[in-house]
Amino acid sequence: MVDVSIVVPLYNEEDNVVLLHQAISDALVDFAPSYEVVLVDDGSRDATFARAADLVALDPHVRIVKFRGNYGQTAAMAAGIQDARGDIIVTMDGDLQNDPLDIPQMVAIIYQGYDIVVGWRKKRQDGGVRVFVSQVANRIMARLMGVAVRDSGCSLKAFRAILVKQLPMYGEMHRFIPALSRLAGAKLAQIEVRHHPRRFGVSKYGFSRIYKVMLDIVSIRILLSYVRRPMAWSRFLLVGTFMLGVTALLISVTGDGLALPTLAIAVLWLSLSLFLLGWTVVGQMLASLSNKVSGYAELGARLSVGLSKQGD
Amino acid sequence: MALSAKLDLVETTDLSVVIPVLARFDDIQKVYAEYRDTITATGRSYEFIYVIDGNMDFPIDALEQLQRGGEPIQVMRFSREFGEAACLREGVRRSTGRHLLFLPAYFQVGPGAIAELLDHLNDADVVTVRRQRSDDAIFNRLRGWGFEKVARFAGAKYNDPGCSVRAAHSSVFDEIPVQDEKQRFLPLLAEAHGFKVMQLTLAQAQSDAARPQHRLGVYMDVMLDLLAVGFLVRFMQRPFRFFGTVGAGSVVCSLLLMAFLLFQREVSNVPLSDRPMLVLVVLLLVLGIQIAAIGLIAEIIIFTRGDGKQHYRVEKIVEQVAGDA
The domain containing residue A201 runs over which residues?
4-226
Question: Strand A157-160 vs strand A116-121: parallel, antiparallel, or unpaired?
Answer: antiparallel
Q: Is the dihedral of CA B163, B169, B174, B175 positive or negative?
A: negative
Helix axes B239-268, A209-228, angle to 10 degrees: 100
Same domain for A287 and A160, yes or no, is no
Contact at CB, A168 and B283, closer than 8 angstroms = no
pLDDT digits (tens, 9 = 90+) for A168-216: 777 677 777 887 787 777 888 888 888 888 766 555 555 566 777 778 8
Return all residues near B69 (Cβ < 8 A) that are at least 6 apart. none
In a domain, A292, yes or no: yes
pLDDT digits (tens, 9 = 90+) for A131-177: 777 777 777 777 776 677 777 778 889 999 888 887 777 767 777 78
Smallest Cα–Cα separation from A100: which of A194, A201, A202, A2?
A194
- Determine the pLDDT at residue B6: 45
Smallest Cα–Cα separation from A80: which of A40, A48, A44?
A40
- Determine the pLDDT at residue B9: 44
Residue of higher predicted confidence among B173 and A40: A40
Contact at CB, A286 and B282, closer than 8 angstroms = no
Give the separation between CA B14 and CA B96, rounded to whole angstroms.
8
Q: In this complex, how many residue pairs, one in chain A and one in chain B, have their CB atoms less than 8 Å apart?
A: 147
Same domain for A19 and A95, yes or no, is yes
- Shortest distance between the Cα of B294 and any Cα of chain A, in A, equals 8
Chain B contact probe: residue of A11, A219, A258 with most B CBs at under 10 A? A219
Smallest Cα–Cα separation from B105: which of B52, B183, B162?
B52
Same domain for B198 and B122, yes or no, is yes
Same domain for B36 and B82, yes or no, is yes
Tell how far CA A67 is from the center of its chain.
20
User: Which residue of chain A comes nearest to B323, CA vs CA?
Assistant: A60
In a domain, B251, yes or no: yes
Same domain for A193 and A243, yes or no, is no
Contact at CB, A272 and B290, closer than 8 angstroms = yes
Choice among A248-252, A297-301, B91-95 with the minimum mean pLDDT? A297-301
B166-169, strands of its sheet edge to edge: B73-77, B46-52, B15-21, B99-102, B166-169, B126-132, B197-203
Residues in chain A: 312
User: Which residue of chain A comes nearest to B237, CA vs CA?
Assistant: A171
Question: Strand B126-132 vs strand B166-169: parallel, antiparallel, or unpaired?
Answer: antiparallel
Give the separation between CA B193 and CA A90, rounded to whole angstroms.
28
A4-10, strands of its sheet edge to edge: A188-193, A116-121, A157-160, A88-91, A4-10, A35-41, A62-67, B314-319
In a domain, B322, yes or no: no
Same domain for B209 and B298, yes or no, is no
Distances (CA, A) of A272 to A78, B61, B253, B293: 38, 63, 18, 10
Same domain for A112 and A245, yes or no, is no
Banded pLDDT at B90 (limits 50, 70, 90): confident
Same domain for B261 and B172, yes or no, is no
In a domain, A160, yes or no: yes
Chain A residue numbers with beta carbons less than 8 Å from the beta carbon of B296 are: 219, 222, 233-234, 279
> A153 with A175: CB under 8 angstroms?
yes
Banded pLDDT at B256 (limits 50, 70, 90): very high
Same domain for B159 and B270, yes or no, is no
Chain B contact probe: residue of A45, A61, A68, A236 with most B CBs at under 10 A? A68
